[in-house]
Structure 1
Amino acid sequence: MVAEQAATHPLDAGGAMHGRGHYPLTMGQLSMWRAVSVRPTEQLWESNQDLLWSAPAGTSEEELRQALTALAARHESLRTVYRPGDEPSAVRQVVLRDPLLRFRAASVREPFDLSAEPAWRAWMRPAGDGEPPQVHVVIHHIAADGAATRILESDFHALLRGDSLATAHTPREAAERQHTDAFRARLSAALEYRQRILAAAPRIAVSRGPLVRARAQTGIPYRAVHQAARRLGVTLPTLLLTVYVQTLAATTGRTDHLLWQLSANRMDPAVRGLVSSLTQWVPMLVECDPDGPLRPMARDVNVAAARALQHGVYDPYAVALTDLDHGSYFTIIPAPADAAVDSTPAETAPARVEFLPPHARSGPSFYLMAHVHPEVRLTVRVMRGGYRRVEVRRLLTTMTDLLLRAVKDTA
């Protein structure tokens, strides 16, 4: 049974918004707004994230409803609508005074009207035989990026337990800081960095091809890659990024590559726990000898990646729209904050590659996503000519083999 709650439209009969203020957007929100604004109508749903949260056995639907209402009251991004302005960059966020929830089942392919409703939906799945009750959440990326969805899930469980939580930071506070004169120098530096990198990047002609998605279950546990990165003196994301560059060099025959990292932009404590969209694509140039020693290569990549992330916050309307066919894209899904290094097996398991059904077609045409916990899983999505199943399998197999070699050589 689906629980439903009647909701008042945020616009009253006279067109006034039942909210407060018209605030600017964070640079991450602006990036998502701009990306959505040029997307075909049939692809608008592709920014929706499909989440499933479990609840303790015996939790009632009313308790789930109350926790979700409290979650929306806590985080302003769950009570926000967006008002376009005269200029594309002049969009403003309006925060509703009260939670506006629709507890009804909905397809992830159902797009949100960002100007008329908060960009999330939730509904309950009653407990089944031996299964706990669950909450199904569909939320737009402008309301919560990947890091923010994990914060939401953690807060949801804390609210179910009745825990007291510190006051949450708000997107409008972060956005107002990013639009001050004091922040302007940082935006200017990011713009100059981006222009310099793209001017020096190799320009390789690519053509669009059919969408191919595949995932490598590498069998390499989190503990092993974590320890390998530590022995190399780099971060775990840097180790994976280095192996990605090695793989690109080995499979393309080119040693110089333009890479795009998805920067979380959460190094500032004021935004570390913020539920909003902060992520932006930031470029870096890397040159790599696939047969060269790993340690110096990883350190060079570490320096380049750190420099790129320092320039991860930029005004998306001050730069050309990102060419999603230019370069190779990469993001890492980190281990949960409470994941212990020794909580996963120490031994590797056999690797395998599985092909996935086509899904979203918006976004980068060459994109690798790496999950690291409890083992490394590499998911690649390619929409470029020359990449069929055989080439995609080779890419994932090569990266798995190089990562395994890095783990063994540093043991």
Structure 2
Amino acid sequence: MRTRLEFRGERSETAPLAWGQRSIWLAMCRTMPSDHYFNFGRVVTIAPHPQRVVLEALAALVARHESLRTRLREADGDVHQAVERSGVLEVEVVECPAADLRRTAEDMLERLAAPVFDYHAEWPVRIGLVTCDGDVRSVVIVFCHLAADGHGADVAVRDLRLLLRRGALPGPPPRQPLDLAREQSSPAGLRVSSSALAFWEREYRRIAPSMFGAPAGPPRRPRFWRAAMTSPAMGTAVQVISGRYRVSQTTVLLAGAAAMVGEVTGHRTCAMLPVVNNRFHVRDREVVTPLAQDGLFVLDLTDETFESLLRSAWASSLRAYKHTRFDPLELRRVVDAVSAERGETVHPYCCFNDQRLVEPPRIVAAEHDEAAVRASLDETRVTWPVKLDQLNCRFCLHVTDEPAGLGISLTADTAYLPPEAMEGYLRGLERLLLAAAYREVRLAELPRLVGTASA
């Protein structure tokens, strides 16, 4: 059955897209018609509440965060964000026995996330309620990526829980995407963008045109496959390395991933595009919108040991994070100009996205027996959960926390990295990081250590 969720906010206004919105919109356009790839959601399990109370909390949530009532509108030959003051969301309601609650909610999430959003006509969230004995026990929320990134989705979930608990949220609403768009078009915002674009232009003049420039063979059908590895051993190894060298786990994974790309492709300089959440300022931490943009991580693979490469990666990651606020349309013009200057398209087509919001605490090697960690390699699993006809990249590495261990998934163009090479890359990365956790690894060892085949 379905019910109506009526909401009313404070303002209705149309404005250009903010930079984070523009970045994800361009990615969606390059992925169409497979842009359902970007849909994501949350299952929010709650104490039993009457349906009326949950709908009131959801209405307050949509009123508070303007991105949840924003659609695209054509204006001045471009797409703009159009915030609506009021509207109605159709909410799906499913009753089930308490024993089936989790499965029913997960099935609903999968079903609601499957269709592509109609960005101009549909609200950018889909909501479902799972009830047991008449009371709501789970709220399922599917986000259009134009409405939120992962952090923004978690802010929305937190606010929903607080609204259910308290009935209201203290203080003024957070900044909104309309506010970001105004700030970014100001003289100060344009200076930030200009500085970042100058960095990208310098680096694009020295990197290889692409990390995966030559096809390895005919593509599979569908063309883009995802290999998903769950590895308790790699999770422990990353924590050990992070603790020993006092760098983030993301830096450890970036260094290992770049070293492996160099081993697979033969490049001595690796360029990767890490997704950076851009929530460094306290005022941006509560914004529900896609704030994340690509960084440009360029690492020369000339160090002799993994330890020294890790220190270089730390410095390179800081440079990348510093230059992640920019106008994506201006970046496109910069890249087009550099490509014309070099006589070929310049684009790394090599992405990295650490989707974990909180890192586990750092540990040191003494806290784990190497033999026991190596024995846990038997628990490593590789699956192939996704196959797509279209994607806007050739190599996309994602990091997640999974119940059974660290999750590393690689979505790749099978013309450039066939399925067997994708699995070889993931298993090679696991072996590299496990070795580096317990001894000095010389990068000259990589061919023997990981046994990867060239792309």
Indicate the larger mover: 311-320 or 227-236. Answer: 227-236
Residue pair 1:28, 1:279 contacting (<8 A) in 2 also: yes
Paired residue for 1:142, among 146, 155, 172? Answer: 146
**Could you state the TM-score of these two structures normalised by the residue count of structure 1?**
0.85
Q: Give, in whole Å, the separation in 2 of the partners of 1:389 and 1:367.
A: 14
Tell me which residue corresponds to 2:331: 319
Tell me which residue corresponds to 1:389: 419
Closer/same/farther in 2, CA of residues 324 and 169 from structure 1, 3 Å limit: farther
Q: Deviations over 1:58-103 (max 9, x none)?
A: 2333333222222112211112122222233xx3323222353220
Closer/same/farther in 2, CA of residues 214 and 3 from structure 1, 3 Å limit: same
Tell me which residue corresponds to 1:64: 54
Closer/same/farther in 2, CA of residues 269 and 221 from structure 1, 3 Å limit: same
- Structure 1: unaligned runs, 5 residues or longer: 11-17
Tell me which residue corresponds to 1:4: 3
Q: Give, in whole Å, the separation in 2 of the partners of 1:98 and 1:297.
A: 53
Q: Give, in whole Å, the separation in 1 of the partners of 2:42 and 2:249.
A: 26
Paired residue for 1:189, among 187, 192, 195? Answer: 195
Tell me which residue corresponds to 2:104: none
Residue pair 2:214, 2:416 contacting (<8 A) in 1 also: no
Is 1:402 the counterpart of 2:450 in the alignment?
no
Paired residue for 1:366, among 395, 403, 406? Answer: 395
Q: How does 1:47-62 map to 2 (within 5 A)?
A: 47-56=38-47, 58-62=48-52
Closer/same/farther in 2, CA of residues 240 and 360 from structure 1, 3 Å limit: farther
Tell me which residue corresponds to 1:200: 206
SS in structure 2 of the partner of residue 103 of structure 1: strand
Q: Give, in whole Å, the separation in 1 of the partners of 2:247 and 2:35.
A: 38
SS in structure 2 of the partner of residue 206 of structure 1: coil
Q: Which amino acid aligns with 1:4?
A: T
Closer/same/farther in 2, CA of residues 37 and 228 from structure 1, 3 Å limit: closer
Residue pair 1:190, 1:313 contacting (<8 A) in 2 also: yes
CA apart distance, 1:47:
2.7
Q: How does 1:267-282 map to 2 (within 5 A)?
A: 267-282=280-295
Closer/same/farther in 2, CA of residues 21 and 107 from structure 1, 3 Å limit: closer
Q: Which amino acid aligns with 1:206?
A: A
Tell me which residue corresponds to 2:83: 95
CA apart distance, 1:389:
2.5
Tell me which residue corresponds to 1:13: none
Residue pair 1:257, 1:327 contacting (<8 A) in 2 also: no
Tell me which residue corresponds to 2:444: none
CA apart distance, 1:287:
1.8
Tell me which residue corresponds to 1:307: 319
Q: Deviations over 1:335-364 (max 9, x none)?
A: 448x6668xx96743323222241473232
Q: Which amino acid aligns with 2:249?
A: L
Residue pair 2:228, 2:407 contacting (<8 A) in 1 also: yes
Closer/same/farther in 2, CA of residues 136 and 6 from structure 1, 3 Å limit: closer
Is 1:161 the counterpart of 2:169 in the alignment?
no
Closer/same/farther in 2, CA of residues 404 and 335 from structure 1, 3 Å limit: farther
Closer/same/farther in 2, CA of residues 228 and 335 from structure 1, 3 Å limit: farther
Percent identical among aligned pairs is 22
Tell me which residue corresponds to 1:14: none
Residue pair 2:175, 2:287 contacting (<8 A) in 1 also: yes
CA apart distance, 1:231:
2.0
CA apart distance, 1:222:
5.3
CA apart distance, 1:386:
4.6
Q: How does 1:20-59 map to 2 (within 5 A)?
A: 20-40=12-32, 42-56=33-47, 58-59=48-49
Paired residue for 2:233, among 199, 213, 220? Answer: 220
Tell me which residue corresponds to 1:15: none
Q: Which amino acid aligns with 1:310?
A: K
- Structure 2: unaligned runs, 5 residues or longer: 93-107, 336-344, 441-455
CA apart distance, 1:116:
2.8
Tell me which residue corresponds to 2:297: 284
Q: Give, in whole Å, the separation in 1 of the partners of 2:138 and 2:208.
A: 48
Q: Give, in whole Å, the separation in 2 of the partners of 1:367 and 1:296.
A: 25
Residue pair 1:45, 1:112 contacting (<8 A) in 2 also: yes
Paired residue for 1:244, among 257, 261, 286? Answer: 257
Q: How does 1:320-335 map to 2 (within 5 A)?
A: 320=332, 326-335=348-357
Indicate the larger mover: 179-188 or 23-32. Answer: 23-32
Q: Which amino acid aligns with 1:154?
A: R
CA apart distance, 1:153:
1.7
Tell me which residue corresponds to 2:341: none
Q: Give, in whole Å, the separation in 2 of the partners of 1:301 and 1:116.
A: 44
Residue pair 1:335, 1:372 contacting (<8 A) in 2 also: no
